[in-house]
Amino acid sequence: MSESIRFFLGNLTTPIGRLTWVVDDQGRLRAAGFTDGHPRMERALRAFSIGPAALLVSQSETRDANEAFESYFSGDFAAIDRLPLFAEGSEFQRRVWSALREIPSGETSSYGELARRIRNPKAVRAVGLANGANPIAIVVPCHRVIGADGSLTGYGGGLERKRWLLAHERPSLFSRQLAM
């Protein structure tokens, strides 16, 4: 009989709301998102609590993620890059999510650029759908994707959070949009 995976819940109050994440018993980040107004994260939390796996609150098991998120919100953007991840998705989604992680903090990319980066330039819409299905907010930085014309496009956590995250990572470029 195989052992069941245990999942641990962590959270942090940030300047833009409560960030919640799930880490598995191998220390891999499985999900992260804002729980207020973020239905995808709420669904993920329910899914991790169903079946033989248990969703447990544990400060010790989630310490690395907590420290990385605290560092990120304090301005050390590279801290989240060191977190081990495990995101369930199709091969295409995982390719898109991997490409998202290659966008440096303080920079942005368009859906078309991402499609070209994964060598599938006609898959712009599919890239958008994969971006929207990203289960690990901030660490897999879907907030760094903008429209081809430079406009802010949708974000599961809300456009105000997206503006804030972009301004946080590169204040000189996005500070005017925060004031809007």
Q: Domain residue spans in the chain?
A: 6-82, 91-178
Q: Evaluate if residue 57 carries a pLDDT over 70.
A: no
Specify the pLDDT at position 75: 94
Contacts 24+ apart (CB under 8 A), 89-95: 89/130, 89/133, 89/135, 90/130, 92/123, 92/126, 92/130, 93/130, 93/133
User: What is the dotted CATH code of the domain comprising 6-82?
Assistant: 3.30.160.70
Which residues are the active-site residues? 142
Q: Evaluate if residue 168 carries a pLDDT over 60.
A: yes
Whole-number Å distance between alpha carbons of 115 and 127: 6
Residue 116: helix, strand or coil by DSSP?
A: helix
91-178: CATH class: mainly alpha
* 56-77 mean pLDDT: 89
Q: What is the DSSP letter of 82?
A: G
- Topology match between the domains 6-82 and 91-178: no
Q: Express each pLDDT in 117-138 by its tens digit.
A: 999 999 999 999 999 999 999 9
Residue 157: phi and psi, rounded to 5, are -90, 0
Specify the pLDDT at position 38: 63
Letter for the amino acid at 89?
G
The token pair that represents 2 in the structure block = 């195989």
Q: What is the DSSP letter of 135?
A: S
Q: Evaluate if residue 66 carries a pLDDT over 90.
A: yes
